[in-house]
Amino acid sequence: MASCVCKSWSIFMSSDHLWKPICFTHYPSLSSLSLTDPTISYCRLYALAHQSTKRRYPSPPRISLDDLVFAVDIFDGNSHSLSLANAGKDLDIHRHGVFRFEVDVQTGDVGAFELSTEMKVTWTIILKGWKGIFSMMECKGKGRLVSGCEQWFMEDLPAPGCCLNAGASGLAAELGLGFSDGTKIRVEKVSMGIMNVGSCRYFSVDEDLRYLQHFLLPDL
């Protein structure tokens, strides 16, 4: 904060005379590396080490499942077939504690349709009090049919930052529809989760809440 006051303060606050003793106090082994590469400043060394520590021991998320509402809409062609709005506190956490949930659909909530039709699927997360909204998914197509009775949709999620065009995060929103048997099918179950594309695994609830808070909390 002090380095942002003016140019001269910025120069002073980046001085090795200031950061060398701080660096040696908190990260003595890393500080000695500057002797082999004098081009890197002690300020930079401290910043790298500090960020690494924060990543290893991240702070708890500032939002919880109790703060969220999960809204899903399904369109069969041009017809609106299903709407779901579930409070996060009412969702059962996956047995492995990952950010993946399943919602049973009541018989009267959705009409029957054919798997051959193109669908539009949207998934939105709302912060209670309408303080923030994040669009997790807006997919069009037939999805990926699994075992003849499940249809899955996936969409890449943006990296956290001030701009949604900042690049890919390596995460993807995943939504699955479980159907009843028969020529005319009915959605019986909706599955939602966030998948790490590189490792093909689901993150913990806290990890994904830390990701979502970048988009749901405007002051973060």
DSSP string, the chain: -GGGS-HHHHHHHT-HHHHHHHHHHH-HHHHGGGGT-TTS-HHHHHHHHHHHHHHHSPPPPS--GGGEEEEEEEEETTEEEEEEEEEGGGSPPPTT-BSEEEEEPPGGG---B-TTS-EEEEEEEEEGGGTEEEEEEEEEE--EEETTTEEEEEEEEEPSSSSTTS-EEEEEEEEEEEE-SSSSB-EEEEEEEEEETTTTEEPBHHHHHHHHHHHH-TT-
Of the ranges 7-21, 38-52, 123-137, the best mean pLDDT one: 123-137
pLDDT interval class at 127 (50, 70, 90): very high
pLDDT interval class at 55 (50, 70, 90): low
Q: How many domains does the chain have?
A: 2
Mean pLDDT of the chain: 83
On whether both 37 and 95 belong to a single domain, the answer is no
CB of 121 closer than 8 Å to CB of 113: no
Give residue 107's domain range: 65-216
**Amino acid 134: pLDDT:** 96
**Amino acid 24: pLDDT:** 87
On whether both 70 and 142 belong to a single domain, the answer is yes
pLDDT interval class at 3 (50, 70, 90): confident
On whether both 138 and 29 belong to a single domain, the answer is no
Q: Is the pLDDT of residue 220 over 80?
A: no
On whether both 71 and 24 belong to a single domain, the answer is no
On whether both 42 and 93 belong to a single domain, the answer is no
On whether both 35 and 134 belong to a single domain, the answer is no
